[in-house]
Chains A and B, each alone.
Chain A
Amino acid sequence: EPEVTQTPSHQVTQMGQEVILRCVPISNHLYFYWYRQILGQKVEFLVSFYNNEISEKSEIFDDQFSVERPDGSNFTLKIRSTKLEDSAMYFCASSAWSEVTGELFFGEGSRLTVL
């Protein structure tokens, strides 16, 4: 069964360092997303991406964050200068035709710990 895969599963970094989280969406999907879940809190929307550009972003997704689809398969989230409060589980998701099928598939997450 096709799945969304994410790397690394866990990353520990020092405050102020840059972090890149990687995702390989399901191959025929066209819409890509990042969500995050701070420990004990709700899963929150960060950004959606379609046709090589951001289609929507939340107020969490400030200038420290960026997304990229560098090739035909990877979708990355970059945090330019990490803060303690960026510690969270980051989930990548993808969907085929979002407004038709409604199905959004998530990866297993990348846990980011900022020290």
Chain B
Amino acid sequence: GEDVEQSLFLSVREGDSSVINCTYTDSSSTYLYWYKQEPGAGLQLLTYIFSNMDMKQDQRLTVLLNKKDKHLSLRIADTQTGDSAIYFCAESRTASKLTFGTGTRLQVTL
């Protein structure tokens, strides 16, 4: 079946850029997502990208997609303490049944 993998933990200094990586196995993925989960909260949709795109930028967020390698990344520029959270990568063929990764816990230090 489909699988999505992420590293479990990333620590960055405030003001630096964060890059969270994700790999997936489904070559038929159409949508690739990044969700943010703060402690005790739900899943907040940050951004998503269609599989026919290479890059999407939205303010401090840049998503890069390498479809050949099935690799997705999320870059957060000028990382702030409020960015500390768990970031989930997810993929879907139909934008209904999403397959999530394990989540990457981002810790932002002063």
Contacts and interface: CB of A to CB of B under 8 A. Distances in A.
Interface of A: 4, 6, 31, 33, 35, 41-45, 48, 55-56, 58, 91, 93, 95, 98-99, 101-109
- Tell me the dominant secondary structure on chain B's binding face: strand
B100 A102 contact: no
Contacts of A31: 96
A19 B22 CA distance: 35
A43 B4 CA distance: 11
Contact of B102 (A42, A98, A105): A42
Contact of A102 (B31, B35, B41, B43): B31
Nearest to A56: B97
A45 B48 contact: no
A95 B96 contact: yes
B88 A98 contact: no
7 contacts: A35-B98, A55-B96, A91-B42, A102-B30, A102-B95, A108-B42, A109-B41
Contacts of B42: 4, 6, 91, 106-109
What range describes how many residues of B lie at the interface? 20 to 34
Contacts of A105: 45
Interface of B: 30-31, 33, 35, 41-45, 48, 50, 88, 90, 92, 94-103
Given A42-B101, A56-B97, A99-B94, A104 B45 contact: yes
Contacts of A58: 97
A48 B97 contact: yes
Residue from B41, B42, B101 whose CB has the most chain A CB atoms within 10 Å: B42
Contacts of B95: 95, 98-99, 101-104
